[in-house]
Amino acid sequence: MKFYVGITDNKWFEFLASRRPDEVNFWRPGGTGSFQVIPTGAPFLFKLHSPDNFITGGGFFVKHSNLPLSLAWEAFGEKNGAASLESLQALIEQFRSNKPREHDPIIGCIILANPFFLQRQDWIPAPSSWASSIVQGKSYETDDVIGAELWAEVKARLARVEPEKSLARADGASLQAEDSPRYGAEFLTRARLGQGAFRVLVTDAYTRRCAITGERTLPALEAAHIQPFAKLGPNVTQNGLLLRSDLHKLFDLGYVSVTPDLSVEVSRKIKEEYENGRDYYALHGRKLVVVPSTVKDRPSSKFLGWHNSNVYLG
């Protein structure tokens, strides 16, 4: 099994350790490139800066995405490791001091599910081979001696200090070094993903364009649950549509729906109740103009059927 140890800002860790959220955004101030070191579902561990050369917790890798700061804050809020958007921006500017100040900078977002935070007495010393020249982090394999020893230490800590997790991965399965981890699509289907991860996964699956109109102005786009989370709808891309904010609201209220064959339906109730809706009725009967290129990410007929039967006003 391959896993990663990322160098972690001490204040970021302390802030989140005191809150123990269900997901975190391990952000990087630069908004270029991608993180492809480990597969979806693999462990990502936190190592503090020197002199605290310890591994102090971790999570399970969901996705990397370069996002505007405003969207990262809307999606994750305090799960970014800061108390406010202003304080988060101040942290980012501190690390980008060599660049001109931007209104809404792009940052790298490494999204982690099911994070865990060890108490100080359970921190794990970094491997003796850890080089001071490492700037961002390093990957390990449990097939190697050092990787196997480190992962054994992590498992032992979790078994002792967080027994309720019972060495569980984010997908609820037993996490043993010799396991064949459930990566990729299987992990995303089974994992207990948070609302922030859902928003980013849906946003990227639809290539940052509204499914109905093709609108690509990112601040105006929102990830809509087809079957609401409050009604037992899961945080998976198959239960999501990326919609312009006005269409999202109409979709949630039942004035707009999408059929299992991906056709747009606009309710007559808009005309009856508001004596308006010409622009929306122009969308009636059209096929979605944007659908995810990956079949597993496309909206499920099961969830669309639920919305048609339980929400849409007809």
145-178 per-position pLDDT tens digit: 999 999 999 999 888 766 554 444 444 444 443 3
Q: Are 251 and 237 in contact (CB under 8 A)?
A: no
pLDDT computed for residue 167 by the predictor: 42
- On whether both 7 and 132 belong to a single domain, the answer is yes
For residue range 68-82, list pLDDT tens digits in order: 999 999 999 999 999
What pLDDT is recorded for position 173? Answer: 41
214 and 178 in a common domain: no
**pLDDT of 176:** 40
27 plus 99 within the same structural domain: yes
252 shares a domain with 163? no
Of the candidate ranges 127-141, 155-169, 224-238, 294-308, the one whose mean pLDDT is the lowest:
155-169
Question: Is 121 part of a structural domain of the chain?
Answer: yes
Residues in Cβ contact with 138 at an 8 Å cutoff, skipping those fewer than 6 apart: 4, 5, 130
For residue 101, the model assigns a pLDDT of 79
Instruction: Write down the mean pLDDT value for the chain.
Output: 91
Res 1 pLDDT > 80: yes
Whose tokens are 């339906």? That residue is 265
Q: How confident is the model at residue 13 (pLDDT cuts 50, 70, 90)?
A: very high
pLDDT band at 269 (very low <50, low <70, confident <90, very high): very high
Range of weakest confidence among 40-49, 93-102, 148-157, 180-189:
180-189
Q: Based on the domain organization, do 6 and 62 belong to the same domain?
A: yes
Q: How far apart (Å, rounded) are the C-alpha atoms in residues 171 and 77?
A: 23
Q: Are residues 216 and 171 in the same domain?
A: no
Boundary of a domain, candidates 162, 190, 218: 190
Q: How confident is the model at residue 95 (pLDDT cuts 50, 70, 90)?
A: confident
pLDDT at residue 178 in the model: 37
**CA angle, 110 then 114 then 119, to 5°:** 100
Residue type for 304, please? L
Reported as a single tens digit per residue, the pLDDT across 20-52 is 999 999 999 988 889 999 999 999 999 999 889
103: confidence class by pLDDT, cuts 50, 70, 90? confident
pTM comes to: 0.91
Q: How many domains does the chain have?
A: 2
Q: In the predicted model, what is the mean pLDDT of residues 208-235?
A: 96
How is residue 289 written in tokens?
């103009």
Domain housing 21: 2-190
Cα(140)–Cα(77) distance, integer angstroms? 31
Answer whether residue 267 shows pLDDT above 60.
yes
Same domain? For 254 and 129 the reply is no
11 with 59, same domain?
yes
For 69, residues 6+ apart whose C-beta sits below 8 A from its C-beta are 85, 88, 89, 92, 104, 105, 106, 107
Is residue 196 in a domain?
A: no
Q: What does each C-alpha distance from 267 to 96, 147, 208, 309 come to in angstroms?
A: 49, 58, 26, 13
Under the banding of pLDDT at 50, 70 and 90, the label for residue 273 is: very high
In a domain, 298, yes or no: yes
Residue 150 is encoded by which pair of tokens? 């480190």
Q: Which of 83-97, 175-189, 235-249, 278-292 has the lowest mean pLDDT?
A: 175-189
Residue 190 has pLDDT above 90, yes or no: no
Residues 173, 242, single domain; the answer is no
